[in-house]
Amino acid sequence: MSFSFPGSEQLLPEAPRARMLSVAGLAALFVAAMAFIFPSLLPLSRESSSARISTAVYPAGQAWALPHPGEGEWLMPAGAVTIGDAIFVADTGNNRILRLERERGRATVLGGAGLTLQMPMAIATDGQRLFVANSLAGDIVILDPSGQLESTITLPAGATGAPPRPIGVAVVPGGGLVVSDAEHHRVLRLDAAGAVVWSVGTGARGGGTEGFNVPAAVTVDDAGNIYVVDTLNARVVVLSSTGRFIRQIGERGDTAGTLARPKGVAVDETRDIFVSDGLLAAVEVFDPDGKYLGLIGRRDPSDVQSTSALVAPAGISITDGVLLVTDRHAGLVAFDLPPRH
């Protein structure tokens, strides 16, 4: 069945459809509080100033009560996942994980000073735990939702001996993880104990059916198929659960339907594939066979040159029909997806 996205005039200006969240410090909080007090300010138009856009909060009108001034500010976050009412954000620039609680309207820092992260580039969940790609430490950190450190998986060194640099992580249904290693251009399948089951990639920059050129975000669909953002090859590679190449999605370009700098990937229940692009400042959607379906984030869904609600989109996830985009500069941007068939 063909699929099309509604026009951006419906997608973007209405707060319930395009909800943005950003914890940008006291100034934003002040404006958020004003928006809460004076709800007539909402919904905000896309022509609003960036400060006002950042306060079209999630949910609209609710301010985040931060435990300390500045503690809830984030810096260039790269990914976020949802567990129940909480959103967990990889606050990459601050080397930490933030927990945002929608109902209680507050932000907390997981783990406190005892949790040392070095440029966490991705975060995944199995609904019970958090898995953080701790890129510059070369490991995967496993936390419970309260921030308690459960364990750490140290990834094996690559052929060059250089430390691995994980920048993507996904949970495999039934157990285990898939991890991308940008340093060695490989994708690792780990079992539940963290042991390597298989590895795909030549160990150097590559392409085709066996290689990657900076593999980044990864995700897994309900059938166990693995989707890998192959950043510098401008594509998404689909692997079977055993690591066999199935197909690639997208091709290099800067027009609608092509990819310039893909960053994040998510798959919905119909196995349509959502790809965020950091240069196109949009999320592109493809069907399971790779046919381009549409564009999310631009005023004109058919025009990648039209005004964007995004700045530098990175990690994306889909939960309960909501596409959550982590933008390195705009914060979190949530889109209600249209009903799927």
Partner 1 sequence: MAAAARIIAAAILGVTLIMLGTSTTLGEDRRISGTQHDVAIPGTPVCMYCHIPHAANAETLWASKPNMTGAFSGLRPLCFSCHDGTVTSLGSFAFDLARPLHMRSPGVVGADCDRCHDAHGTPYAKFLKLPGAADFCQGCHAVAGPVNHPVDIDARSLGIEPQDSSWNPYAGDFHGTRLWSEDGTGPGDYMKCLSCHATHGGEPDTSFNTMPSGSLCTNCHVGKRQVPE
Please give the residue ranges that form the binding site for partner 1 (CB under 8 A). Answer: 75-76, 78, 92-95, 119, 121, 135-136, 165, 167, 182, 204-207, 211, 213-214, 216, 231-233, 252-255, 260-261, 263, 278-282, 304-305, 308, 310-312, 314, 328-329
- Is the CB of 197 or the CB of 311 nearer to partner 1? 311
Smallest separation, CB 242 to partner 1 (Å)? 25
Smallest separation, CB 90 to partner 1 (Å)? 10
Smallest separation, CB 209 to partner 1 (Å)? 13
- Is the CB of 83 or the CB of 311 nearer to partner 1? 311
- Is the CB of 82 or the CB of 233 nearer to partner 1? 233
Q: Which of 305, 314, 298 is nearest to 18 (CA)?
A: 298
- Is the CB of 267 or the CB of 314 nearer to partner 1? 314
Q: What angle do CA 37, 41, 43 make, to 5 degrees?
A: 120
Q: How far apart are CA 299 and CA 303, in angstroms?
A: 8
Under a CB-based contact definition with an 8 Å cutoff, are residues 325 and 313 in contact? yes
- Is the CB of 108 or the CB of 326 nearer to partner 1? 326
Smallest separation, CB 260 to partner 1 (Å)? 4
Largest interatomic CA distance in the chain: 60
Smallest separation, CB 121 to partner 1 (Å)? 5
- Is the CB of 183 or the CB of 221 nearer to partner 1? 183
DSSP-assigned letters across all residues of 12-69: SSSTTTEEEE----HHHHHHHHHHHH-GGG-SPPTTS-HHHHTTS-SSTTPPPB-SST
Smallest separation, CB 40 to partner 1 (Å)? 28
The amino acid at residue 62 is Q
Outline where DSSP puts E strands in 221-267: 226-230, 235-239, 245-249, 262-267
